[in-house]
Amino acid sequence: MVSCLVELQELTVLTKHFCRHNKTPLSPSCPLLPCMHIIIWSTDRLTVGPPMITDTKPKAGIMKVNFFLFFLALTGFSLIGLIFLGYSSTSLRYKEKRFCLNLTKEHQENSNLQSPQGLSYKQPSVVGPDGKVVPVTPWLSPIVWEGTFDPLLIDSIYRQQNITIATTVFALGKYTQFLKDFLESAEQNYFVGFRVHYYLFTDQPEQVPEVKLGEERQLTVLKVPSSNRWQEITLRRMEKLEKLIESRLVNEADYVFSLDVDTKFYGRWGAESLGRLIGVIHPGYYQTAREQFPYERRPESQAFIPYAEGDYYYGGAVIGGLVKDVYEAAKTCREQLDIDAAKSIEAAWQEESHLNKYFLYNKPSKVLSPEYLWQDFKPHTNEVKIIRFSQVIKNYAAVRPNP
């Protein structure tokens, strides 16, 4: 009761202050009085001149109110602070999330489909038990067969991207004789309507035939030293490809394919073959059990693959994809070839063995069916409806520098 009285007295005094300033009479019974505390406090501060009431009791009252208001202000500031912190941490979280998303996106775009070594799973089939071709790998990369794509549509999509497809080809020693057919048939079938830049490695630039190239297509001849071992010529392609990408292709191309020269194009080869990392199923082994694949089987070699592992047997005659991804593949194969060479080991099928090891643990994002690598001597089969690119028949003894 006493405290109530004190309160009331304070209020009355304060109300007087308020009323003096605003020239409005206010009764202590006014229902607005409790709200007036704040207004009064500020009004009191605004008051000019000596205070009307000099009594000590009301002063103590004002101090009490001031303390209350100070406490209120402190709470207010704390609340604002908390809201601000809450906001900024939310925005930080948001930024962090966005950053992570960006990283994830970038990571996904750049990711190679790595799979662990020693994993036990069924060998994928290329042709199903019903004789139908399988259009997808068990890691969900397309296997490109006739009928799985619309040539007009897929070329139109990629043509809009204004891409350049670098194509490396090696013709050393007597292999220059394959150049004419290779280039002429490529001009008829290979990425027709696209910007194609051939990079031709040879030890005899004077043997390079004159072939009329289509619009936006060019050929650069690069001289390399001769070799008296065919194995050395084929495996060194990885190093040459790696160095060419480093020195030129990073700036000059979007995609790159490295192709055997002892070949001919018989059918369309277009944008359906484009992707991050491309391998081709070797025509000789697409119905073979993986333990019979001619992988390198000596554990001492970096190309070693155990009998219980393997997806497909990939041909060394075709490797392709985005410049960056082909670079990784070529560089890794070159490094593994160098390690083997230092131990005087040459894998069963040179760089093809190392490429098979690479593709087993770094899955291609698209796999080309044997339509994209056939052999002229092989009879046609039901599942391969169209032959696009094929190894010509050659007399090994006559064209290779060594047996």
Ligand X SMILES: CC(=O)N[C@H]1[C@@H](OP(=O)(O)OP(=O)(O)OC[C@H]2O[C@@H](n3ccc(=O)[nH]c3=O)[C@H](O)[C@@H]2O)O[C@H](CO)[C@H](O)[C@@H]1O
Given the rule CB under 6 A, which residues bind ligand X?
170-173, 175, 230, 233-234, 260-262, 282, 315-317, 349-352, 373, 391, 400-401
Residue 173's binding partner among ligand X, Mn ion, none (Cβ under 5 to 8 angstroms by kind) is ligand X
Residue 230's binding partner among ligand X, Mn ion, none (Cβ under 5 to 8 angstroms by kind) is ligand X
Work out how close the CB of 370 gets to ligand X at its nearest, in angstroms, rounded to a whole number.
10
Work out how close the CB of 227 gets to Mn ion at its nearest, in angstroms, rounded to a whole number.
16
Q: Is 203 annotated as a binding residue?
A: no
The smaller minimum CB distance to ligand X, of residues 14 and 337, is found at 337
Q: Is 262 annotated as a binding residue?
A: yes
Q: Which member of 146, 187, 328, 352 is catalytic?
A: 352
Work out how close the CB of 257 gets to Mn ion at its nearest, in angstroms, rounded to a whole number.
14
Q: Is 311 annotated as a binding residue?
A: no
**Rounded CA separation 67/74 (Å):** 10
Kindly give, in sequence order, each residue whose CB lies less than 8 Å from that of residue 275, ignoring residues fewer than 6 positions away: 141, 320, 321, 322, 364, 365, 366
Burial per residue of 16-36, b for 16 or more beta-carbon CB atoms within 10 angstroms, e otherwise:
bbbbebeeeebeeeeeebeeb
**What is the number of the residue whose Cβ is closest to ligand X?**
316
Work out how close the CB of 351 gets to ligand X at its nearest, in angstroms, rounded to a whole number.
6
Q: Do residues 309 and 241 touch, judged by C-beta distance below 8 A?
A: no
Work out how close the CB of 167 gets to Mn ion at its nearest, in angstroms, rounded to a whole number.
15
Q: Which residues contact Mn ion by CB under 5 A?
A: 260, 262
Q: How far lies 244's CA from each of 166, 278, 292, 323, 342, in Å?
A: 10, 18, 35, 10, 24
Residue 351's binding partner among ligand X, Mn ion, none (Cβ under 5 to 8 angstroms by kind) is ligand X
**Rounded CA separation 380/386 (Å):** 9
Nearest to 235 by CA among 209, 207, 258: 258
The smaller minimum CB distance to Mn ion, of residues 10 and 262, is found at 262
The smaller minimum CB distance to Mn ion, of residues 342 and 393, is found at 393
Residue 285's binding partner among ligand X, Mn ion, none (Cβ under 5 to 8 angstroms by kind) is none
Residue 7 designated active-site:
no
Q: How far lies 16's CA from each of 11, 38, 41, 335, in Å?
A: 8, 14, 12, 93
Helices (H), 245-361: 250-252, 323-342, 350-361
Q: Is 352 annotated as a binding residue?
A: yes
**Which residues make up each annotated binding site?**
175, 260-262, 282, 352
Looking at the annotation, which residues are catalytic?
A: 352
